[in-house]
Structure 1
């Protein structure tokens, strides 16, 4: 089964998962507070350098970023049309930096570490009766775990279109993607409930 985690021995791999998540959260706040294009450009460059430290093969490194990056570019172009070039640049630099940092964190942190840390962070909310911490950790772990599966399914549908000589279109790609993903989600939910992994009252 595919995973976003990349084996390695960099300082990012050795860093505590809690520190990485807190740094990501703090950096996100800074990114959305800064409006200066040069400063955002420097932050984007620093994020790219951190991502390059993973030393992924170029094809794999690009495959991890492509879906999100293409979405950022499309929305950036829309912002350019309805607003200004400055705001479009701020938007693209801000979200590109966040994407690179998030990709770096998920590549250097195992799913079990993510789940444990999120569960610990959600424990205060459980004490006041808002959520069940273990359910939050499980949900985050499942999202991270199945992102590669969704991307692989998207590529398989595209390849099937090309094999039949069909031109991939948004509708013809989205419909089977949604159906297969929902079917898979239902199967996973049934399996989780059958094993009693979720807390129910």
Structure 2
């Protein structure tokens, strides 16, 4: 069973202030009340990973036909359902296992990010090197969040008012645009509009990592003064 809280060995507060946080929390609580007893947090985690592999498969198979992008869209919904509800259901039923959940949940998040951006980079719409820039940016920002949870006592899940759910909506919009616009070179030659969009997002994530890392280091230096 999955719970997104950090291990019990540390006192950490989850900070989630993204635009859709309140609305999503109400929806997840409502859905938790509808789920039968045989649906467990572990099974939801597994379902989320099925969605992740579907996203990957849809992007890669779009080399054969853009119709496969429908599989990616379905995968994004399934991945949200499983990934968002596993921890919510554990809290709803009061069956949390914080250390186990924290470890497994964020391990799955890392693999999911690799599958999404790796699949996108293997599709005909986004260059692999551009997708890897976005992957590096997301993973760097994740590293910052995990480190800050250790030194600052807070697990930050929101940056620039956006969190994982908002990013899923961005991915849905991007995938629909791929279906509508196709993989033609466009106005930028070998660099498509999709490359520019994904590369810009990746660059912003890397910049956020640098800015937040410098700010946190400056704050910690004030606390941990030299004798």
- TM over 0.5, shorter chain: no
TM-score by length of 1: 0.35
Which structure would you say has the larger RCO, counting Cα contacts within 8 Å and 6 or more residues apart? Answer: 2
TM-score norm. by structure 2 comes to 0.32
Relative to its length, the structure with more helix (as a share) is 1
